[in-house]
Amino acid sequence: MLFLLQATGKQSSPSGMLSMLLPFILMFVVMYFLILRPQKRKEKERKALLSRIKKNDRVVTAGGVHGLITSVRENEVILRVDDAKDVKIKVDRSAIAAVLEVSHDDTDESYETPKEKESSGKK
């Protein structure tokens, strides 16, 4: 009798193997739709954002520096961070975290905060 139990225990059916792998397959599918797919979408949007930046866009770097783009190169961007002393810094294009305001023309306007624009418009 013991021999009979051991013989039937060693044989595995394909449906038994599938039922064992099913939780792992479901975990992978859930992980793909909840983690991997949104991450790929965000990376694609970020690359598009970095490819669209141009002169006179107001941006924020990953370090929190606000500035106006004065020059765009292949991998670098020159930011003007202070108009009074004409302070410019060079940052990697990948360091740009967000574009605050997209320029609509190529005129060289001074960098103003929204409050300064409101006060200059009321006068």
Q: Which residue has the tokens 């690359």?
A: 47
For 2-54, the pLDDT digits (tens) are 454 455 555 556 778 888 899 999 999 999 999 999 999 999 999 999 999 99
Count Cα neighbours of 55 within 13 Å in the Cβ-side half-sphere: 10
Q: Where are the domains of the chain?
A: 14-50, 54-106
The fold adopted by the segment(s) 54-106 is SH3 type barrels. (2.30.30)
For 2-16, the pLDDT digits (tens) are 454 455 555 556 778
Q: Report the distance separating Cα 7 and Cα 77, nearest Å.
A: 72
H/E stretch holding 71 reads: strand 66-72
Q: Taking the model in full, what pTM does it have? A: 0.59
